[in-house]
Every structure is written in C-alpha cells, then in structure tokens.
Structure 1
Amino acid sequence: MNLKDAYILGLSIDGEKMQFFFPYSERNVNLVKTIYSRVFNKGLKCWDFPINPQIYADILMKFPQTILDHNLKNRIRSIATAYDQVNEMKLAGWENTTPNAPMLLKTENLHNNKPYNHQILAFNVAIQLPHFACLMEQGCGKSLVMVALVGHWFHLGEVKRVLIFCPSAVIPVWPREFGDYAKYPVNVFALTESVAERESLLYSLCHSGLIEQNIVTTVVTNYEVSWRMEDALKEFKPDMVICDESQRIKKGSTEQAKAIYRISANAKHRAICSGTPIEKPVDYFGQYRFLDPNILGYYFTNFRNRYAHVVGEHDIIVGYKNLDELTKKVHQIAFRVTKKDALPDMPEKVDQILYFELEEEARKIYDQMEAESIAEIAGYETITANNILAKMVRLSQLTGGFFNANKLAGTDDDETRPNVIKQISKAKLKLLDETVNDLTEQNHKVVIFTRFTAEFLAICELMSKNKIKFVSMNGSTPALLKKSNVDQFQNDKGTMILVANIRCAGLGITLHAAHYAIFYSFGYSLIDYEQAKDRLHRIGQHDLCTYIHLVAQHTIDVKIVRALQNKREIAKEVVDDWRQYFEDEVA
C-alpha cells in the first residue's frame, strides 16, 4: 500500500523526518495544525514532523485510522525504549552506579583512581542515546565524560573523526584532557592560527591518510570561525560533533550557529556541554536544534508559538507557557547535576584554567623582555631571590596587559626613572569579560583577585562599562570602606562582583556569598594564594568552590599557576632553578 496516496491516512519516515499524508479536508487541516512542529511539504503535499514519540502519539490520537510505516514504528519504539532506560537510570541515582560499558580512561590520573559516581551515571545515560546533553554545572567534570564517550563510540567502530567547537580560551584545554584521560589512540589538533592556516591544516589532514587509521582524530576550534571555514570543516566529515559551552549557539539565527548546524548534519553523534544552558526558556532551541532537532523541532517559529507568549507585530516575547512539557523534552536526552548535588561525591575545591594568546605586538614585547631578563640574570655574579622576582614581576604584569615602559631590563634598581604604565594587551581583559558575563548571567557572585594596580583599575572600569554592580578593595581602601564593601557584597543580592587585591582580601574577611573566584593575576606567595581561596571556602559555604585562573599561553603564568597548585613556595626555589620560570612553556 502506498502511504503517500492522497486518499488514505499514512505516516511514513523519510530520513530524519516523519511525513504525514491525508485526504484534504478543512477538518483535517485544522486538526493537523494543532500538532507541534509541523511544516507543510509543498513538493509532496504532506506535513513533515520531527521523529518524536510524543508527536507520533499525538498524530495517532487525533487521526486513529492512520496507516503506519513499519520502519517508522520500529524507530519510534527504539527511541521510546532509550528514553525509558535513561529515566530509570536517573531515578535510581548515582550512589551505587557502575559503568554499563568500558570507560576507556587512564585511571591513574583520576581521584581515587576512578571517575566520580555522577560522571559514571552521565556516561551510562550518554551511551543509551545517539545525541547527548551534558548539563553538569561548571566544575563537575563534563570534559572527562566527553573523553569517555568518544572512547565508547570509537570502541564500537562508530567514531573516528571528532570535531569540537568551544570558546577560544578553552581550545588549549582539550588536548590536555585527552592526553590526561584518554586510554585509546587519539590525535588532537587545536586550531588557533589564522583561518587560512587552519583550512590548510584541515585539507592536509583530510588527504593525509592519517584519519583512515585506527585512531581518533580530534579537531578543536572556536565558534566564531565556523561559518568562515565551513567548507573545510565539512570536508573533515566528522562522525561526532561536540559543542562545549553550547550557550554560544543559543541564538540559532546567527551565522555561526547556522554553519554549525550544516557542518554537523551528517554526524552520527552530537553532544553539548554547558553548566547552565539557558537564561530564558527560548535559549534551549538553538542548542537543541544542533543537538537533535527531533526534540524541539527544526523551526524557531513553531517552538516560540508553543512555549512563549508573544505580542505585537514583531512577536515580542512577554512570557512563557507549557514549561513542564519543555523541561521534560529537554531532559529526555540530558544529564544535569549541580555542584551542590555532586558535593558529597567531589572535592570541596575545584581549580580551572582558561588559556588565551597574547596579541602579536604584546607577544613580541614579552619575548624581548623575557630574553633580556634571562641574559641579565645569567650575568649576575650573585643571584638572589629578589633579583629574579623583580624580573618575574615585569613579565607577570605584562601578561595582564600592562607594563612599565621606564622599567626595562637593567633598570630595576634605578629609582630616578618614573613609572610610566602602558596598556599593550587586552587579551586577558577580554577573556575576563567573557567569563564574568557567563557567570553573572547564571546569577553567580564572583570574586576577582588581582595583583597589580593598573589591572585592578582596568577591571573596575570594565565592570562599570558593563553596568555590573560591584565593589572593590585594594591597599588604599580605608578600613571602614573595606568593611562596608564586604558587607554589601555578602548581603546585597544585586552586588555581583568584588574586585580585590590578593593580599588586601587575603585575611580577616569572609566572602562565602560567592563560590566562584577568578584569579586575574597571581602573586608568588603560596600562603597569600591559599588564604585568598579560603575567603570563599569557609564555614557557611554550602557549595563547591571553583577557582578560575586566566593564563597566557607560553608565558610565566603557566609556571606560576602550576607551582601554586602543586603547593610549591616560588620564592624559595627560584634561586636554584630560576630558568624554569623564564624558558618557554606550552600551556
């Protein structure tokens, strides 16, 4: 029987869409218009729908005489079964969970030589689904779940080419994550060069024969270049596409979102990672349009009409409706955990590093200053900690965007030269801006620790420019004002940011209204560093504390953060091993 016959009710499958045919009548047309996410197919004179069990059931309820395609019935049954299994696993919880398939991870690099239980449950959920939303809050270990998931699909022979979109600052993180945790063969190519250079590398990679070997080839790039190098990314033909910090594509109408939809259309598996994917319910659409259009549909107009109240000729959204239904749909293919939920399963503090590159001119000045410092220290008859720390301070100040133009190599002890502070880089400030916006959009208070006066003032100026309510304190802040600012930050819900000098905020105050801190720059004292962190992590803190470090690649930042996290006293080791802090280091 031909289900496309104009005189019968027929529901068939065509690729990733259901097609509904029926005899024309005003009643039938009006009835089908009550079904979510419909689009009229003018060529075939039928109605297209996403392949979704709820929509399928709605069609059969309203048109009970519909004749069904056998392949469609099997597809719907398979999807419904997976949803049921996922729901049962989530209801059972993670307390006693074990992996349902091998997690190909290097256990020696894991806490207690195993993933956390909530990560195991996230993995178990993910392998039941072709596409997966990892909505674990920042600091809960989303990337490890993704590394394990890539390994699972590779082990089953379904994935060899992986494409990861992420913010620029996160690109260097992924090679480390795969290197630290992947217990399977993988090559990771982090694309940070010009668009032309990235395209050249991709084309060479596609024709090298490397991706035909029994190895995972992973390409990592930022969202902003997706539409500019769409052809090259399409030629890579990814089997799996991951959007990390997927809120970057919440607006599906942008050029980069549309390009990513096209690039990933033929991928067998897709995943999104985001700690808080929505500010407004409509923010789900763009992310799920990438992830699995069968969940929320292909067209924003249908989605908006179903879940939003609109007014006026420009369809301004003034409220929302059917949110219980929306939440249920979204979480059918998602795993969500907050730090508070995971706290019994996790350490109480989490360190995170966000990397960035200095601009070309700033890079040249940094490299010159570093080379001059090395030559000068090597020429000292007697090397002291103070000599070395003075050179390190100049480099640290520069990675934050500023340097003293009258304090060049060889002039540190010249007190006759006035301070002339110049801004030569905005890269770290830009990364701070993005990070603060992400956190405050999620209604998180944030403490920003900084070391140098110039960057302290620049950060305060940035908060004012962005109209973010903030308070600040440094060494010149009077004691009464300092107390007032702390009280305001702790008690006023609208005050989202505290900008503080590391030493000034390191003792005698409580800042547990925040559980996020950003280290814009770093001192060299382990005691100061630990005390600053403990301003948030103290009695009264009920959430896992996340400390975000902004680090310039190939600079002294990398060495300082590593030393502090390894609890090394920098001032005590620089004399005997000073070169480790100056010689180039890949982040």
Structure 2
Amino acid sequence: MARGAQRQHGARTRTRRGPRPDNDGIIPVLARVVREVESAVQRGRSVPSTRTKFQVVALLMREERARVRSDEAISAARRTEELKRLDGIATILATTAARDSSLLGLLADDAVLSDRARSLRRELLEDAGVEVPDEPQEPEEPAEAPAEAQRRVVPRSVVSRQLANPFLPPDYSAVARANAKPRRLAGWELIEPLLRSFEDGGTLSCMELPEPVARRAAGTLELMPHQARLVAAAAEGHRTFLLADEPGLGKTAQALLAAEAADAYPLLVVVPNVVKMNWAREAGLWTPNHPATVVHGDGDTIDGFADIIVVNYEILDRHVGWLGDLGLRGMVVDEAHYIKNRKSQRSQNVLRLSERIRTRTADPLLMALTGTPLINDIEDFTAIWQFLGWIDETRPLGELMTALEETGLTPADRGFSAAARSAVIERGIVRRRKVDVAADLPARRVADVPVEIDDEAGRSVRAAEQRLARRLVTRYEKALETRRTGAVVEGIDHDLVRQVAARERASTASKKSGENVFTMMRRIGEAKAGLAADYAAQLARSAGKVVFFAKHIDVMDAAEATFAQRGLRYASIRGDQTSSARQKNIDAFTSDPDVAVAVCSLTAAGVGINLQVASNMVLAELSWTDAEQTQAIDRVHRIGQEEPVTAWRIIAAQTMDARIAELIDAKAGLAARALDGADEEITDSSDVQLEALVALLEDALGERLSLQAS
C-alpha cells in the first residue's frame, strides 16, 4: 500500500515556516497519532477510524524515512537522530499490529487508500507545517490504444453468433465468490516460499485423482487409465489443472474430454502454430459432438457457432476482444511455458482472457498443458499459476490462500515448505511420466502431428500439386479422346486413371525437370522442415533427448539451423560421414547430457545404430514404405530401452503428404496380414507412389465434374 500510495499521490513539497526544533515537523505529529492508535488497540477498539490512522501513520513514516535518508542538507548527527525517532514509531506500529494482525493487511502494496485516509494524510501534513499541493487529476486512459485497436478484428461469423444470442445469461455466483482474506498470513511474502517449496524436490508433483467409474471412449478410441482419472476429476467438479504429463501420454485427449465432462463450452484452446491443426483433428476424434474451428489470420473462415475455438499464440492479440465477449466457459493453454514471461504480449493476452473468464463465469475450466518438469525453472510457472487463478502478481488467491491458512504454519516454520507444496499440488498439478504409466502404453506407437504450411513455401507446394494434377488431367483427357474401344464410362474411368498414373510413375525416372511425385515430396519436406524442427525442440525441452529423422539433406540443414537458434546442441548423423565421424556423433548423443537432439538421415542412420537413450523421435519426412519407417523407429525401440517409444510423424495437412501417410499405413496392414499367413501380396514403395498419383488425379477429376454439374 505505502509504496503504491506514494506513487499515486506523488511527492509532496515542503515549505518550512521557520527553524524546526525537535517538537516541530511531521515526526512529533506521527508520534502523537501512533500513541492514539496503540491505546485504542490495547482497549480492544480497532474501529475504522483507528485503522485509518494506523495506515496513514505507516505511510507517512515510510515517506519521512526516505526523505531523511536522501536529504543532503541535514547533518549526519541530525539524520541519525531523526531516523532513531522514526524507528521508535515503527516499533509501536509493529507491536500494535501484533495485537491485531488484521492491521497488517493495511500495509500491503495493493491495499486501498480510502478517501478518508487521503484526507487524514493531508491534515497531518498540514499540522506539521508542510504545504501539500493539490493532487493532479489523472487523465482518463483511452478505451483502447489506437495501435491495438488496429490489430483487433471481429470475424463476420462471430457477429452472426452474437446477433443470434445477444444476451448471455448472467452468472451471479461468480460475483458472489470473493478471494479469501489472509488472516494469520497477512503481511507475509508467500510467492517466493511457494516457489522454493518446489525447488526442494520431494515426491512427484501430482494431485490425488479419483478412480474413474467407467473408462471413457469416443467411437473406436478408448482412454488409457491414467487419462480417465483426470477426466473423472473434472467430472467430479475440479476445474483448474496444470497438466504436466510427459509427451506421449495424451494430454490433448485429456483436456478435450475434461471440457466435455465439465460442459465448458464455448472452449478456447490457445496453442503453438505447429500443433493447431492437430488439436482440430483430435477434437473431431474425441469429442465429435462438439464442433471445432481453427482461427487463421483474421478469422475470416471460422465457424462462429463452434463449441471449440483453436487459435495460435502469434495471432491471439487480434482476437482478444471478441473472445473476451464470447462467454467462454473454459480455456486451455497448450505448451503453457510459452507464457512464462509475464511481460510479453502473448502472456498478457492469455492472462487478460483468463481473468475475463473468471469474472464472468463461476467455476470455469482452466487448463495449462506443458511437459516441462516442475522442478526446472520453477519461477517460470508463476504466470501459469496466475492464469489458473491460484495467485495474482503478489499473493495467493482463493482456495490456495485458504489452504495455506489452514496449515496453521507461516514461512518461518520448518514444516511450511512441505505443506505449501502440497497445497499448490492439490489445486490441480498433474504430472505423470512414461515410466510411471508404462502399463497403460503400447511399447511402441506412431502419433501423427498434422501441421499447416501456410507461408510462401506452403503456397509453392500447393501450386506444384496443382501443376502436377493438371498434367495428369490433360493426359487422361487425351487418352479418352484416342481410346479405340469406344466404351463409354459414366463419371470417372478408374481403369484409365490407373493407366495414366502408371505411365506417369514409369516415366518419372527419366524426367529431368517438371513436377513428379518425388519432387513433390521433397518440396513438402522442405516446407515443413522448420515446423518439424520446432516440434522436436519442444520435445527436447520437455522430455529429454529426441531423435530427428529426415530423408533430404536440405531438411536436415534447416532443422539443424533451427536447433542452433533455439540454443540446443545436436549431433548430426549423415551418409557422407566417415566411420569415425559418424561414431563420434553417435557417442556425443548417447553420452553427453547436453546434446539434446540427434539429426539423422533416414537412409544412413535407419539401420545399424543404437539410440535408445531417447524414447521420443520425430519423423520429419515420410518414408515410402512402412518397413523403412519401422527400421528408423527401431533405432530407439530396441533392447535396452526402458520406456515406451513414441514416434511423432509430422504430416503436412491438406497436401499429398496426408494421403501418402494413409497409404503407407494401409499397406503396412496388408503386409502384417501377409506375414501372419494370410493370402495377401506384400507391396513395395512403387505401389504407394502409384496410389498417390491415382488419388491426386481422381481428386482433380472429381472437382472438375462437380464444377461442370453446378
């Protein structure tokens, strides 16, 4: 309060009416009033006027102490004497507050200075012979800064939603809930002790979670036991979670189904750009009855009536306005360590929205997702706690403050650290490691991460696909014109499509220029290289060592540049290395804890090396066969591996990449059945290339027929 009030009211000017003896000036006035306060508290009469006097005396005592220390006009002896007298006033204030601990709350930096307190402050200064200038009127802040207003947008479909439902039902219970007022802990600095309680280590930071009554399922998908327990907690009424499971344990599904259990719609999901499309895909799989929409750019293409709104950090500033007015009942922040710097624009946007939700909705669902262990850089988590409503910038809030009060301890007590840690964890920290839930997980799995390449490289890829499709369509139409059989086929002649695709596939090897299936996949690999490397960097920060596989040198170069920019050390394993250089890089990755990533050539490092020091790998480019992909995964999933292995396959959404991924998986199923004894023919890579061309041509012909019909 005192420092804040001093800044608010400005420095006072002093005009002395003559030489100041010891009984002149502000100190005797303060001494008189503090005795009045002391006497009133001793008699048990801590009425509002007494509390006002206590607050104002403390404020003026601090101001006078600062003035005396900085005043070069007074002698050293005089300064020592006046500071000694001020110490006497401070001692009386302290002993008085010890009798009535509620007075300590008046000394907080954010304590409100009432109009009566301002008036009393002026009266005491005037009694001391100090002229106090009139307080300047602070100019009203504009409703919105012009630059910020220029960035703000309201998508047309959102306007339609607002017009369809212009009156959001008020939730008065949200207003009725007040933050717990500190009693015994008033005046204590609590944020730092809370942070230190996690630095001390201890048991795994995970709240008690209930056993689910029944395993939740969505279609053919089924939650693993550890996932179902968090969803059960949301169903029982828990509403704030710091979900810090290791990567690969399904945080996305847990968040989506927790929102469904809490009926937290509309739900806002704020994510890094690299996983934006993946969230929309997962929402369609796990909560298909709640439509999701993805915000791109100014949001011109979004569905304003969707239940789930997915937006990336980079464009959130344009959409804060309408999102704050949408009546959100839930908010998920993925890779929540992105907001660790509370002064950054992205953090301010997230915190502003979460505060808006808490003031308008009782018990909103707020979830922060991050794989970063809690024992590292714990101060970074203060912004996350603030997003969840556990603390503000200076103190714990609500249930956390109540839990700390109920411990009966203060930061000076030996047991406070453990009790404080437990109080924070029970607000909703959930942390599980792969090794802890290994029984829930398959020994090896491939998880697709769809990414959107919407930059210049993405536009180049789509243009190249269109050129290749047009060439195939031209060949198909010429083949129709010159066909000798005279047969007429309604719609698309699928046999002819396969013939055209087969001729294209056969002629590819002799082509020296132009677009073909191989150049297309190389273009796509280069376009998504930065996104794949960024995802690998996130994994390395949160889960430890990562193996990064790519087919092309250009993709490896781009990835290594990204890791260098992120400050991550890497080892490079390529086909053009000597045996000694190759082994040196392998040893660096497996033995040096500071080498976070192994950047590997899919062909050169796909066989013959052991990289089981990692349990996460990123497949930045697709193989043509499942066997090649499996060989790469087996560099990590092999004897000596103690954790389940996850291969994160980066897929460029809305490109040939997605179709080829489906084809590879389908062919893998055929191969598995053949090896199990079924009468199936095992196919090779040329089949996938052929099927990719067939799909591209049929899609183009289908679009043409649709246009002709309309």
Go from structure 1 to structure 2 and tell me whether the alpha carbon gap of 1:385 and 1:444 turns closer, same or farther (over 3 Å shift): same
User: Which position in structure 2 is the counterpart of 1:393?
Assistant: 518
Q: 1:187 aligns with which of 291, 310, 326?
A: 291
Alpha carbons 2:284, 2:291 under 8 Å: kept: no
Q: 2:367 aligns with which of 263, 271, 278?
A: 271
Q: Mapping of 1:202-217 within 5 angstroms?
A: 205=304, 210=305, 217=307
Report the structure number with the largest CA radius of gyration. 2
User: Which position in structure 2 is the counterpart of 1:331?
Assistant: 425
Any gaps of 5 or more consecutive residues in structure 1? 10-23, 62-86, 211-215, 304-320, 402-424
Give the distance between the partners of 1:177 and 1:462, measured in 2 at CA.
27
Go from structure 1 to structure 2 and tell me whether the alpha carbon gap of 1:260 and 1:570 turns closer, same or farther (over 3 Å shift): same
Q: 1:496 aligns with which of 573, 592, 596?
A: 596
Give the distance between the partners of 2:116 and 2:345, measured in 1 at CA.
30
Deviations 1:355-389 (A, max 9, x none): 33334533443233223323444537652645468
Q: SS of 1:237's equivalent?
A: coil
TM-score scaled to structure 2, two decimals?
0.59
User: Which position in structure 2 is the counterpart of 1:152?
Assistant: 261
User: Which position in structure 2 is the counterpart of 1:230?
Assistant: 320
Give the distance between the partners of 1:266 and 1:346, measured in 2 at CA.
38
Give the distance between the partners of 2:339 and 2:564, measured in 1 at CA.
27
Q: SS of 1:504's equivalent?
A: coil
Kindly state the Cα deviation for residue 504 of structure 1 after the two structures are TM-superposed: 0.9
Q: 1:42 aligns with which of 113, 137, 146?
A: 113
Kindly state the Cα deviation for residue 442 of structure 1 after the two structures are TM-superposed: 3.2
User: Which position in structure 1 is the counterpart of 2:227?
Assistant: 119
Kindly state the Cα deviation for residue 246 of structure 1 after the two structures are TM-superposed: 1.2
Which shifted more, 367-376 or 536-545? 367-376
User: Which position in structure 2 is the counterpart of 1:69?
Assistant: none
Does residue 434 of structure 2 align to residue 342 of structure 1? no
Alpha carbons 2:108, 2:187 under 8 Å: kept: no
Does residue 286 of structure 2 align to residue 172 of structure 1? no
User: Which position in structure 1 is the counterpart of 2:345?
Assistant: 255
Alpha carbons 1:99, 1:121 under 8 Å: kept: no
Go from structure 1 to structure 2 and tell me whether the alpha carbon gap of 1:511 and 1:329 turns closer, same or farther (over 3 Å shift): same
Alpha carbons 1:164, 1:241 under 8 Å: kept: yes
Kindly state the Cα deviation for residue 139 of structure 1 after the two structures are TM-superposed: 1.0
Aligned length: 469
Alpha carbons 2:448, 2:650 under 8 Å: kept: yes
Does residue 48 of structure 2 align to residue 6 of structure 1? yes
Any gaps of 5 or more consecutive residues in structure 2? 1-44, 52-91, 118-176, 189-203, 358-363, 398-414, 476-498, 670-683, 701-710
Counterpart amino acid of 1:153? A
Q: 2:606 aligns with which of 506, 531, 534?
A: 506
Give the distance between the partners of 1:266 and 1:52, measured in 2 at CA.
19
Kindly state the Cα deviation for residue 397 of structure 1 after the two structures are TM-superposed: 1.1
Go from structure 1 to structure 2 and tell me whether the alpha carbon gap of 1:510 and 1:582 turns closer, same or farther (over 3 Å shift): farther
Go from structure 1 to structure 2 and tell me whether the alpha carbon gap of 1:330 and 1:393 turns closer, same or farther (over 3 Å shift): farther
Give the distance between the partners of 1:582 and 1:45, measured in 2 at CA.
80
Greater strand fraction, Structure 1 or Structure 2: 1
Deviations 1:141-171 (A, max 9, x none): 11222222122122xxxx3311111111222
Alpha carbons 2:663, 2:688 under 8 Å: kept: no
User: Which position in structure 1 is the counterpart of 2:379?
Assistant: 282
TM-score scaled to structure 1, two decimals?
0.70
Kindly state the Cα deviation for residue 493 of structure 1 after the two structures are TM-superposed: 1.6
Kindly state the Cα deviation for residue 58 of structure 1 after the two structures are TM-superposed: 3.9
Give the distance between the partners of 1:500 and 1:355, measured in 2 at CA.
21
User: Which position in structure 2 is the counterpart of 1:383?
Assistant: 503
Alpha carbons 2:207, 2:425 under 8 Å: kept: no
Alpha carbons 2:269, 2:332 under 8 Å: kept: yes
Q: 1:520 aligns with which of 620, 624, 630?
A: 620
Q: SS of 2:292's equivalent?
A: strand
Kindly state the Cα deviation for residue 286 of structure 1 after the two structures are TM-superposed: 0.4
Go from structure 1 to structure 2 and tell me whether the alpha carbon gap of 1:57 and 1:151 turns closer, same or farther (over 3 Å shift): farther
Q: SS of 2:346's equivalent?
A: helix
Go from structure 1 to structure 2 and tell me whether the alpha carbon gap of 1:359 and 1:446 turns closer, same or farther (over 3 Å shift): same
Give the distance between the partners of 1:443 and 1:323, measured in 2 at CA.
27
Kindly state the Cα deviation for residue 457 of structure 1 after the two structures are TM-superposed: 2.6
Deviations 1:233-292 (A, max 9, x none): 112121111111211112222222222222222432211112226540101110110112
Which shifted more, 259-268 or 446-455? 259-268
Q: Percent of aligned pairs with the same residue?
A: 18
Go from structure 1 to structure 2 and tell me whether the alpha carbon gap of 1:435 and 1:178 turns closer, same or farther (over 3 Å shift): closer
Go from structure 1 to structure 2 and tell me whether the alpha carbon gap of 1:496 and 1:517 turns closer, same or farther (over 3 Å shift): same
Deviations 1:82-104 (A, max 9, x none): xxxxx9x955x78xx3338x95x
